[in-house]
Structure 1
Amino acid sequence: MKVLALHGAGGSPADWDPVITALNGNHDLVPLPLEGPWDWDSILDRIEPHATDNPAVLGMSLGGMVAALWGRRHPECPAVINIDGHGVPTQPQRYLNPTAVTGKIATLREQFRAYGQPDLQQALEDLDCFPVFRALSCPMLLAVATKPLPGHPLFEEYQQGLARDLATLPPNIDVVHMDTTHAATREDPQLVADLITNYLATR
């Protein structure tokens, strides 16, 4: 099956090379670049010319969020595979008690913006993925990392709110948990390849 592959923020299409190797010829993975301007509709418009033959769409982090938006636009999509693309930890609505973590969120927001691309950071923060997920009618696999990246100050609190929200998703979305950090495609490309292969086997 043809699968469009969308990388994470700060990444490139080459990030999928280890996963392509691990797939060992299963599926035609087509990595695409994600670039600004960071208007979601225009990003989807730029993907459209590559979407011949109704492909599945795979995304990591930012790419997973875009893949979900694609699935909402295209209910005929055979499958969306979303690798840990469920939002960013600077979104207060993802916490059980947002008031208790206001200061930490503000600090983390400044850290993120210091990396550059503040327009992308703002676009990510403004996009609440869960209404997008609930609007999907096509099938989606959402793979959630269970280990923190080094220096993540809000991982446990974010995971608690995420668990609350994951429990509200409709039955066309399958949620699995990965024994990796957010950098799953780099840490365990074979795991990601197996997720792709097993999920698409039923599509």
Structure 2
Amino acid sequence: MKVLALHGAGGSPSEWEKVVAELDGEHEIVPLPLEGPWEWESVLDRIEPHADGNPVVLGMSLGGMVAALWGRRHPECPAVIDIDGHGVPTQPRRHVDPDLAAIAGLREMFLAYGEPELQQAMEELDCFEVFRDVRCPMLLAVATKPMPGQLLFGSYQAGLARDLPTLPPNITVERFDDSHAVLATNPHLVAALVRDFLQAR
């Protein structure tokens, strides 16, 4: 099965190499670059030329958000796999009791990385609205552990605990025992998530 693989913010297609090795030819994994401009429909348009044969779309973080957008555009997609791409912690709506001062401080930290257009685009995207419009089978895999120094993790997780049960039945939610860095720290786990979900497709 052809699988388009989309990396996270600040990443590159090479980050999928270990997952490709783990899957060992079970699927045709095609890693693609994600680049600005960060208008979501134009991002999807740039993926379209690679989507012959109605592929599965797999994404990590930002890539998972784009994968969900793809699933919304393409209800005929055989499957979407979103690895921990469900919004950003600088979105107050993703928290149960948002600490606005802490969120503002985190936003300044993110902006210091030098991609303000991407930061704005991710903040303006309500992933849960997108998820509710997806009609194809979708796996949403959610990290249960924080990365070292990850801020607002507990508050954000509380928001996820509130919002995840509201998703439609075509979306399978699976929590995994690792952090948002799982693509780098545990490609074996990522490959297992992909393999297990696609076996039923």
Q: Where on the TM-score scale, by shorter chain, does this alignment land: which range?
A: over 0.9
For residues 91 and 126 of structure 2, what CA distance do their matches in structure 1 show? 8
Query: Which residue matches 2:71?
Result: 71
Q: Which amino acid in 2 is paired with 1:25?
A: G
For residues 73 and 19 of structure 1, what CA distance do their matches in structure 2 show? 26
Query: Which residue matches 1:86?
Result: 86
For residues 32 and 193 of structure 1, what CA distance do their matches in structure 2 show? 17
Q: Are residues 1:198 and 2:196 paired?
A: yes
Q: Which amino acid in 2 is paired with 1:119?
A: E
CA positional deviation for 1:107: 0.3
For residues 6 and 111 of structure 1, what CA distance do their matches in structure 2 show? 24
Query: Which residue matches 1:108?
Result: 106
Q: Are residues 1:48 and 2:48 paired?
A: yes
For residues 193 and 151 of structure 2, what CA distance do their matches in structure 1 show? 29
Query: Which residue matches 2:151?
Result: 153
For residues 10 and 153 of structure 1, what CA distance do their matches in structure 2 show? 19
| Structure 1: gaps (5+ residues) | none
| Structure 2: gaps (5+ residues) | none
Q: Could you report, residue by residue, the CA deviation over 1:60-108 in whole angstroms, capped at 9, with x for unpaired residues?
A: 000000000000000000000000000000000011112xx00100000
For residues 24 and 184 of structure 1, what CA distance do their matches in structure 2 show? 19
For residues 160 and 123 of structure 1, what CA distance do their matches in structure 2 show? 23
Query: Which residue matches 1:133?
Result: 131
For residues 133 and 153 of structure 1, what CA distance do their matches in structure 2 show? 25
TM-score when normalising by structure 1: 0.98
Corresponding residue to 1:175 among 152, 173, 176: 173
Q: Could you report, residue by residue, the CA deviation over 1:18-60 in whole angstroms, capped at 9, with x for unpaired residues?
A: 1001111110000000000000000000000000000000000
For residues 161 and 79 of structure 2, what CA distance do their matches in structure 1 show? 23
Q: Which amino acid in 2 is paired with 1:110?
A: E
For residues 32 and 71 of structure 1, what CA distance do their matches in structure 2 show? 16
Q: Could you report, residue by residue, the CA deviation over 1:140-177 in whole angstroms, capped at 9, with x for unpaired residues?
A: 00000011111122000100011110010010000001
Secondary structure of the structure 2 residue equivalent to 1:3? strand
Deviates more, 1:151-160 or 1:29-38: 151-160
For residues 153 and 43 of structure 1, what CA distance do their matches in structure 2 show? 29
Query: Which residue matches 2:140?
Result: 142
TM-score when normalising by structure 2: 0.99
TM superposition outliers: structure 1 runs of 4+ over 4 Å:
none
For residues 149 and 100 of structure 2, what CA distance do their matches in structure 1 show? 18
